[in-house]
């Protein structure tokens, strides 16, 4: 196995990101640069991401972001082994910007192109800072995705459970918006929750009588929005924020513990590694509940450094490097995909999204 140096591009939502990652012959990972241009200011007036604004901002900034990533890495175009670009899932206008740039650069420089699933990038993000062998149990939890997966290797993910409505991060953001906390809502709600009483407001616990490992947050979101109506005292708002955070962390931990028990039984108590990834993995209360679950079930706990929890290009570059090491490259006809499940068989047999209806984004 040879050393690979990959440029990663990420434009699936509202961050324009580029990074250079080196994967050594021994599998050791080094992030040489990671540049992220946020669009928070552009979307804040609307309380959420506007796809057309996001795509335009990607077009305007991607040249400069890539130039900075290459400059800070100390690696020129000639020092790259390949170019990895997010090809989905995400806001397809934004995905097209990064993927098209990657295709053009790969063609011009004679480099292999790796079209990366954004979710696979998150799945591998903890490996940017920690040597985590396969297989492992993964909770992927972000603004658009909430699912439990068994990750056996590169491109080998088996879905165990998924949200049947809203993602956990989406619930954080929409509840925060209903409380007038602005955008991005998740971190704002976490800050407000500090010092609040997490048991002050009784919020619903979804799917308690349902077997399996699926999640549901729409009922919690509606109940919290109703509870927020008329709350003006800061102490009351703080208690509600703490109750929301506690309820979301509780459901994530409860369903994850079910999956842990199932995973441990099928693996005869071996390979008990757990990874949480995605933007919600940055929430301290969620992390603490999941660490407790790991301790109770004998799993080691792994999470990306906070800077790699949210969307970034370093995780895309790493996923590209791992694919490139296996000879998995893509042609210039690789499509941009608004939806791209990690477990295609499960998505086909038991879809979480029915065309024509609102549903989970995974």
Residues with Cβ within 8 Å of residue 312, at least 6 apart in sequence? 10, 15, 17, 19, 34, 36, 125
Q: Decide if 193 is inside a domain.
A: yes
Q: Are residues 55 and 103 in the same domain?
A: yes
Q: Decide if 355 is inside a domain.
A: no
Q: What are phi and psi of 290, to 5 degrees?
A: -70, -35
Cβ atoms of 132 and 106 closer than 8 Å = no
- The DSSP secondary structure of 101-165, one letter per residue, reads HHHHHHHHHT--EEEEEHHHHHHHGGGGTS--PSPEEEEEESSS-EEEEEEEETTEEEEEEEBSS
**48 by DSSP, 3-state: which?**
coil
Task: Among 259, 286, 303, identify where a domain stops.
Answer: 303
Q: Are residues 75 and 166 in the same domain?
A: no
H or E element in which residue 186 lies? helix 185-193
Q: How many domains does the chain have?
A: 2
Strands 4-10 and 15-23: antiparallel
Q: What are phi and psi of 268, to 5 degrees?
A: 55, 35
Q: Decide if 256 is inside a domain.
A: yes
Q: What are phi and psi of 18, to 5 degrees?
A: -140, 145
Question: What pLDDT score was predicted for residue 349?
Answer: 67
Residues with Cβ within 8 Å of residue 10, at least 6 apart in sequence? 16, 17, 18, 19, 85, 86, 98, 118, 121, 311, 312, 313, 315, 316
Q: Are residues 237 and 104 in the same domain?
A: no
Q: Decide if 144 is inside a domain.
A: yes
Distance CA 36, CA 292 (A): 32
Question: What pLDDT score was predicted for residue 344?
Answer: 78
| pTM of structure | 0.92
Cβ atoms of 136 and 271 closer than 8 Å = yes
Question: What pLDDT score was predicted for residue 362?
Answer: 40
Half-sphere exposure of 145 (CA within 13 A, CB side): 30
Distance CA 237, CA 223 (A): 14
Radius of gyration of the chain (CA): 20
Q: Are residues 274 and 292 in the same domain?
A: yes
CATH number at residue 284: 3.30.420.40
Question: What pLDDT score was predicted for residue 361?
Answer: 45
Per-position pLDDT tens, the chain of length 362: 799 999 999 999 999 999 999 999 988 999 999 999 988 788 888 777 898 999 999 999 999 999 999 999 999 999 999 999 999 999 999 999 999 999 999 999 999 999 999 999 999 999 999 999 999 999 999 888 899 999 999 999 999 999 999 999 999 999 999 999 987 889 999 999 999 999 999 999 888 878 899 999 999 999 999 999 989 999 999 999 999 999 999 999 999 999 999 999 999 999 999 999 999 999 999 999 999 999 999 999 999 999 999 999 999 999 999 999 999 999 999 999 999 989 877 776 666 655 555 544 44
Question: What pLDDT score was predicted for residue 343?
Answer: 86
**Which residue is listed with tokens 């979301």?**
248
Q: Are residues 221 and 273 in the same domain?
A: yes
Q: Are residues 226 and 319 in the same domain?
A: no
Q: Are residues 143 and 287 in the same domain?
A: yes
């Amino acid at each position: 196995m040879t050393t690979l140096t990959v440029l990663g591009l990420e434009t699936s939502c509202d961050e324009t990101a580029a990074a250079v990652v080196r994967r050594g012959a021994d599998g050791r990972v080094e992030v040489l640069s990671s540049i992220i241009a946020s669009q928070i200011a552009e979307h804040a007036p609307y309380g959420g991401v506007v796809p057309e604004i996001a795509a335009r901002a990607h077009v305007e900034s991607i040249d400069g972001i890539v130039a900075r990533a290459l400059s800070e890495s100390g690696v020129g175009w000639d020092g790259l082994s390949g170019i990895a670009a997010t090809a989905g899932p995400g806001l397809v206008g934004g995905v097209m910007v990064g993927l098209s740039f990657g295709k053009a650069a790969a063609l011009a420089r004679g480099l292999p192109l790796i079209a990366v699933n954004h979710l696979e990038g998150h799945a591998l993000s903890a490996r940017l800072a920690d040597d985590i062998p396969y297989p492992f149990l993964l909770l992927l939890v972000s603004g658009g995705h909430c699912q439990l997966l068994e990750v056996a290797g590169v491109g080998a993910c088996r879905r165990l459970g998924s949200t049947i409505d809203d993602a956990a991060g989406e619930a954080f953001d929409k509840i925060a918006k209903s409380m007038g906390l602005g955008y991005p809502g998740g971190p704002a709600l976490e800050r407000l929750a500090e010092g609040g009483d997490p048991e002050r407001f009784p919020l619903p616990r979804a799917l308690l009588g349902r077997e399996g490992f699926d999640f549901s947050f729409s009922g919690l979101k509606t109940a919290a929005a109703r509870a927020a109506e008329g709350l003006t005292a800061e102490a009351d708002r703080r208690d509600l924020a703490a109750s929301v955070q506690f309820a979301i962390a509780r459901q994530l931990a409860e369903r994850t513990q079910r999956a842990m028990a199932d995973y441990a039984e099928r693996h005869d108590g071996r390979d008990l590694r757990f990874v949480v990834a995605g933007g919600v993995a940055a929430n301290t209360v969620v992390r603490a509940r999941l660490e407790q679950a790991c301790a109770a079930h004998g799993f080691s706990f792994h999470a990306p450094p906070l800077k790699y929890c949210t969307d970034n290009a370093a995780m895309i570059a790493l996923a590209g490097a791992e694919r490139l090491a296996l000879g998995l490259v893509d042609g210039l006809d690789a499509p941009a995909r608004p939806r791209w499940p990690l477990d295609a068989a499960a998505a086909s047999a038991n879809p979480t999204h029915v065309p024509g209806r609102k549903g989970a984004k995974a």
